[in-house]
Structure 1
Amino acid sequence: MSNAVEFDNIDVIFGNNQAKSLELLDAGKNRDEIAEATGDILGVANVSFDVPQGEICVLMGLSGSGKSSLLRCVNGLNKVSRGSLRVHDGDWMVDVTTCDTKTLRDLRRKCVAMVFQQFGLFPWRTVEDNVGFGLELDGMGPKQRREIVREKLALVGLDQWADKYAHELSGGMQQRVGLARAFATDAPILLMDEPFSALDPLIRNRLQDELLDLQDKLNKTILFVSHDLDEAMKLGNSIAIMEGGYVVQHGTPEDIALRPANGYVADFVAHMNPVHILRGRAIMQRVAKDQRTGSGDLPIKDENIRISLENGIIRAAHDGDLGELKLINYTGDLPTDLDPMDNSVIFVADDTVLLKDLIDMRGITQNPVLLTHEGRISGTLGRKAFFESLTQTASPAD
């Protein structure tokens, strides 16, 4: 998978003594020490990681950690003091730190769109005119602009509100207008700066779900700023946790939850509920690649069950009677015709399935769950691994 955004040793200093401040940064001075010596503010320090195309990367940390400062470097709203920041769209690539004004303007118009926390809607314009504002600036004609705007409003469920004004909409609806405006440009990269934080918890949760549904359809690359760990864990394919301008850990939600890099990250995840974060792949007993096809028994612990492959076909035995167990593919909804504690079935699910869904499966059967990746067995989840996952506690790495 190719990258959409590449941060390469990014430093951002706000102030007029950048050369001296960078010198102090290289000498190991922290934000407070740099500010005292030069009057400059350290926004971002030595950040290097990549964001693959089509993924959601959440930047999170406490207030002042540098997450919004880093986000705004991607479209040039914050100037990078040192380092390289490359943005890709297919074969097209630009280094935001060295490009000219015209290229930066093209980047903002066609490649990177932004959704703000406070919606940023013009109160004198209708919903339709707000969504089409960028297209209008681009010189697109009214007919074509209207077609695109109506399509994007339908995408976010607001096609019946096109003629309304911002004050006639709820906060959640106004944020949907902001999303539609970003989608209207067809930019492959979206920057979202705490877009849901000003909303009530119920509305925020609903918009998070809607964003994930839209992402399934649109496959954008999204950099999403949040200070809410639950939100980050729910939305992110990866999470970058920042402190004092530095990225102290970058990894999958499972990495962050189970293997915090230091005490700062461990404090973030200390009171986290694992059922909404952990996925089968993080807790399963892995099946070796050479065991995933052909024939032979698969590993399973603490179960009176035998799982085997016969010429690539999964077979299951209970009490030594091969094939008596029924395999049920889990696709997001549990069957409604099964009795509770039906130990004649075994669920087969993708290894990205959440622990909360695995709990639902265990509510029907005590048998192990078989986990797959791209259609092939990748692991097994028996009783021991399942119950251990419910009591896992994270501790910082040494």
Structure 2
Amino acid sequence: MPPKIVCRDVWKIFGRSPRRIFKALATESTPPAPPEGHIVAVRGVSFEVRPGETFVVMGLSGSGKSTLVRCISRITEPTHGEILVDGQDVLRMRPLELRELRRNRISMVFQHFGLFPHRRVIDNVAYGLEVRGVPRPKRRERAAQVLELVGLQGWEYHFPRQLSGGMQQRVGLARALAVDPDILLFDEPFSALDPLIRREMQEELQRLQATLHKTSIFITHDFTEALKLGDKVAVMRHGQIVQVGTPQELVLNPINDYVGAFVRDAPRGRVLTAQAVMTKCNPVPPPADRPTISAHTYLDDLLPLMAAYGDPVAVTDGNGFTIGHVDRAGVLKALIRE
């Protein structure tokens, strides 16, 4: 399938003369530092997001990740580049087309909940439908359905101040889902939450994604969160993408010391799978006299079997064929942080 979102050579420069600064930076083999009064927030970023994929962009504060996600819906106007949504160039959209994109096809969930304090939960969730002109009974019916989906059934007629931070963020998520968008953009939505609530929200998002299969771009500065949520992860630094890969690829093969510093404390047992560490073989029928495990089994889940069973264990694919073997030494080596 063609990609849902494509970014090609996207730049965002803040200042009085961004176009002039872009031309100077883009044409030099060794780009000079931008002059005083200008900030290069995003520098030549390119990537693709497939339908139903969760693409996580992570980096330290000031790396440009939040600016990048705001460029996709043109909340922030890019200085240069191409941003395609279903093959349409967002940067060439007229105001009416852009309004339609934001109302119907893209929803955004922010770090700060942005709920209307004077409106009840159900009307906060229904706001996007209200903007569309959906009659009140229908939009409230839809809002109630989505609130049940995110676990807030029974809280429809409370005010935001009566909810905890985690519950308010669920309202923000429900508001984004109520309009049934194709694409969800998350700008560090859980960073203000307490650790336990944050973990609950991550698990809630995983549950919803398994059901709804939305195309998502998720911004975070937390590498553990990135590994947990992302099908693909892009690491940003100084406005540029340093490396893109699956969580396993980043953990096993960091491209440089910067990425290596992030992955050093990654929970390898919950990231690496049997397929990542197995000794490969040509597909053959599974053994009848030995245990087998799925290629997607995490190493943490494999440890009890490794402890109880000394011989190599066959790794099977989705069709039940053996595609490799893992042994105790290989699993332990993969778990050790070098």
Which bin holds the TM-score, normalised by the shorter protein?
A: over 0.9
Shift of 1:260: 1.1
The corresponding residue for 1:53 is: 51
Matched to 1:77, the amino acid is: I
The corresponding residue for 1:126 is: 120
CA distance in 2, matches of 1:366, 1:164: 57
Shift of 1:95: 0.7
The corresponding residue for 1:158 is: 152
Matched to 1:283, the amino acid is: V
Percent of aligned pairs sharing the same letter:
41
Residue 210 of structure 1 pairs with residue 208 of structure 2: no
1:59–1:67: 8 Å Cα contact kept in structure 2?
yes
Residue 354 of structure 1 pairs with residue 298 of structure 2: yes
Q: 1:71 aligns with which of 46, 66, 69?
A: 69
Residue 250 of structure 1 pairs with residue 195 of structure 2: no
Matched to 1:172, the amino acid is: G
Counterparts in 2 of 1:242 and 1:30: CA distance versus 1, 3 Å? farther
The corresponding residue for 2:40 is: 42
1:347–1:361: 8 Å Cα contact kept in structure 2?
no
1:110–1:185: 8 Å Cα contact kept in structure 2?
yes
2:57–2:218: 8 Å Cα contact kept in structure 1?
yes
CA distance in 2, matches of 1:368, 1:113: 48
1:35–1:42: 8 Å Cα contact kept in structure 2?
no
The corresponding residue for 1:332 is: none
SS in 2 for 1:160: coil
Shift of 1:204: 0.5
Shift of 1:25: 1.7
Shift of 1:157: 0.6
SS in 2 for 1:34: coil
The corresponding residue for 1:96 is: 90
CA distance in 1, matches of 2:254, 2:222: 16
SS in 2 for 1:353: coil
1:347–1:368: 8 Å Cα contact kept in structure 2?
no
SS in 1 for 2:9: strand
SS in 2 for 1:161: coil
Larger proportion of helix = 2
The corresponding residue for 1:17 is: 17
Counterparts in 2 of 1:367 and 1:127: CA distance versus 1, 3 Å? farther
RMSD across aligned positions (CA): 1.7
Shift of 1:108: 0.5
Residue 315 of structure 1 pairs with residue 272 of structure 2: no
2:273–2:298: 8 Å Cα contact kept in structure 1?
yes
Counterparts in 2 of 1:15 and 1:373: CA distance versus 1, 3 Å? farther
2:60–2:221: 8 Å Cα contact kept in structure 1?
yes
1:7–1:85: 8 Å Cα contact kept in structure 2?
yes
Larger radius of gyration: 1
The corresponding residue for 1:340 is: none
- The gaps in structure 2 that reach 5 residues or longer are none
CA distance in 1, matches of 2:316, 2:292: 11
Counterparts in 2 of 1:203 and 1:360: CA distance versus 1, 3 Å? farther
Q: How many residues align?
A: 336
The corresponding residue for 2:84 is: 86
- The gaps in structure 1 that reach 5 residues or longer are 294-308, 317-322, 326-345, 394-398
CA distance in 2, matches of 1:35, 1:163: 53
Residue 111 of structure 1 pairs with residue 105 of structure 2: yes
